[in-house]
Structure 1
Amino acid sequence: MRIDAHQHFWLYDSQRDAWITEEMSTIRRNFLPNDISHILKNNHFDGAVAVQADQSHQETRFLVELAQVYKMIKGVVGWVDLRSPQVEQYLADFAQHDIIKGFRHIVEGEQDADFLTTDAFQNGISQLTKYGFTYDLLIHPRHYASTLACVRANPAQKFILDHMAKPAIRTKEFDDWALFIEELSACSNVYCKVSGLATEAEWSNWRVEQFEPYIHHVIRCFGKNRICFGSDWPVSLLAASYEQSVQIVAENLQDFTAEELDMFWGINASKFYNLK
């Protein structure tokens, strides 16, 4: 099964979705599975993982409802208030929906560098482990240290790094990011999505070769059995078509065997998220 491990869907709301700024007008509209289903089929994908874009329990229920209608959604990564004293009850309720595979918090928007290691958040992570849910890491460089501390403190929890931690391709920064990737990949409970790359370069002036050192470093560090593809559609449309997002990655997998390609394009994501 060929899987896009990272897509978003929303009914655009100017207040709720204020993060979509004027320069991002391309995505200031509704995006639903019907808008991508034929593109997935044309690119030989069997389905996708729908990932939260809003931090509310309503968002999680919205994605579950979409999955009940659109079979192309193979799994949901929702949002839950991991810092709430009621987090266990929330997770017990969400566990009734098999389509929910895990959760994510937009940590990159948190100014607290130690957000991931606060007592309340750590309690939430322990509850995810108890219920068998995964956790998507969306972080900013200021969270490197706490991310490493978090995953090391929770070796039984399954983590996956979104967008390769968003390397600063636009400004060609590499060393600090590369060291972080090396240290994080040493934790066997962490996978990595090769996703969302074009938007980290100059949106209208990127070249495929710019992504090579970043993608190859992730492959070297995580190996070929803990990485998977994600488009980050429709956010990716700010800088690239769906086909270009695929091309950016595909051109850096030239030494993969047929079996390794199958793992990258679907098997690894299916294993991580327990997709069916």
Structure 2
Amino acid sequence: MDLIDTHQHLILRDRIGYAWTQDLPALATGDFTRADYAGLTAGKGVIGTVFMETGVDDADYQAEARMVAGMVGTDGMLGQIASIRPEWDDGFDGWLEEAAGLNTVGFRRILHVVPDDVSQSETFRRNLRKIGMAGFSFDLNFLARQLIPIGAALVRACPDQSYILDHCGVPDVAAGAFDEWARGIDVMAAFPNIVVKFSGITTYCAPGTASVALLQPYVDHLLRAFGPDRMLWGGDWPVVNLGAGLPGWIDMTRALLAGLSADEQFAIGQGTARRVYRLG
């Protein structure tokens, strides 16, 4: 099963600020570069990547996208998902227009690290609709507890938009909170314009516990709710270092999906990504 990694981060501290990493020892120092990524994925069947904005400091999110634009088309990078701030009217239209010319295939605003009401404002929703009208997808980051009251409400308010629900909907695997997460997944999967990103889940396990046996029930539920044609794969490196690590996650992915047909594995590995992010 060849893979397009739809969630490749980079950390380049000499150019961009990453304050969120300060409290995470595994990520707090040093750079995480394309050369590092290439070493970790060599021989692992990763045939292309899509850069995912790295949650950089507010002052740097546009600089990050401009920097990455020059990397797209080299070393297998197929496009980028750029950061955007729909809650801000000031400069929004100008950034949407500029970013559209930066090899951008979609946009993201991380919503589980801001107050719950950010995505509930009319400003946010009006600007999100503009992203859809411009023909771009929007990656959603919500905690499991936010899926029904906040995530579903946003999708209902902005229905003419293609969405990707990142990191399997962020189940609290460590706490064993399967039922709340599963209810939220079922509600989100009922919207035909949402696909789910098969990524990040090992990070939500208790340290050292991520395993195929532990995660298989979560994966099986995603497959029942969304189906392979509405799932796409992401590595989430280097954040995945907090879980199984990238090589371990790739191996675990193949084990978790081993019972699927070749066509179903193709859909999750690259087919859905090509369709949703318009990768050709």
Amino acid at match of 2:88: S
Provide TM-score, normalisation by structure 2. 0.90
Counterpart secondary structure, 2:35: helix
Question: What CA distance in whole angstroms lies between the structure 2 residues aligned with 1:142 and 1:257?
Answer: 33
| Cα pair 1:27 1:238 within 8 Å, conserved | no
| Cα pair 1:27 1:234 within 8 Å, conserved | no
Aligned equivalent of 1:65:
70
Cα distance, 1:215 vs. partner?
A: 1.0
| Cα pair 1:203 1:240 within 8 Å, conserved | no
1:217 aligns to 2:218 (yes or no) = no
Question: What CA distance in whole angstroms lies between the structure 2 residues aligned with 1:26 and 1:83?
Answer: 28
| Cα pair 1:40 1:47 within 8 Å, conserved | no
Larger mean CA deviation between 31-40 and 164-173 belongs to 31-40
Question: What CA distance in whole angstroms lies between the structure 2 residues aligned with 1:10 and 1:256?
Answer: 34
Question: What CA distance in whole angstroms lies between the structure 2 residues aligned with 1:60 and 1:26?
Answer: 21
Q: Identical aligned pairs, as a percentage?
A: 26
Cα distance, 1:241 vs. partner?
A: 2.8
Question: What CA distance in whole angstroms lies between the structure 2 residues aligned with 1:114 and 1:143?
Answer: 11
1:239 aligns to 2:243 (yes or no) = yes
Provide TM-score, normalisation by structure 1. 0.92
Question: What CA distance in whole angstroms lies between the structure 2 residues aligned with 1:126 and 1:26?
Answer: 34
1:258/1:15 Cα in 2 relative to 1: closer, same or farther (>3 Å)?
A: closer
1:90/1:23 Cα in 2 relative to 1: closer, same or farther (>3 Å)?
A: closer
Aligned equivalent of 2:52:
51
Aligned equivalent of 1:20:
21
| Cα pair 1:231 1:245 within 8 Å, conserved | yes
1:90 to 92, 95, 115: 95
CA RMSD, 1 decimal: 2.0
Counterpart secondary structure, 2:229: coil
Aligned equivalent of 1:126:
129
| Cα pair 2:86 2:92 within 8 Å, conserved | yes
Number of positions where the alignment pairs a residue of Structure 1 with one of Structure 2: 273
Amino acid at match of 1:67: V
Question: What CA distance in whole angstroms lies between the structure 1 residues aligned with 2:28 and 2:228?
Answer: 32
Counterpart secondary structure, 1:232: coil
1:14/1:20 Cα in 2 relative to 1: closer, same or farther (>3 Å)?
A: farther
| Cα pair 1:178 1:217 within 8 Å, conserved | yes
1:224/1:141 Cα in 2 relative to 1: closer, same or farther (>3 Å)?
A: closer
Structure 1 runs (4+) greater than 6 angstroms displaced: none
Cα distance, 1:154 vs. partner?
A: 2.2
- For structure 2, the residue ranges without an aligned partner over 5 or more in a row are none
- For structure 1, the residue ranges without an aligned partner over 5 or more in a row are none
| Cα pair 2:171 2:181 within 8 Å, conserved | yes
Counterpart secondary structure, 1:6: strand
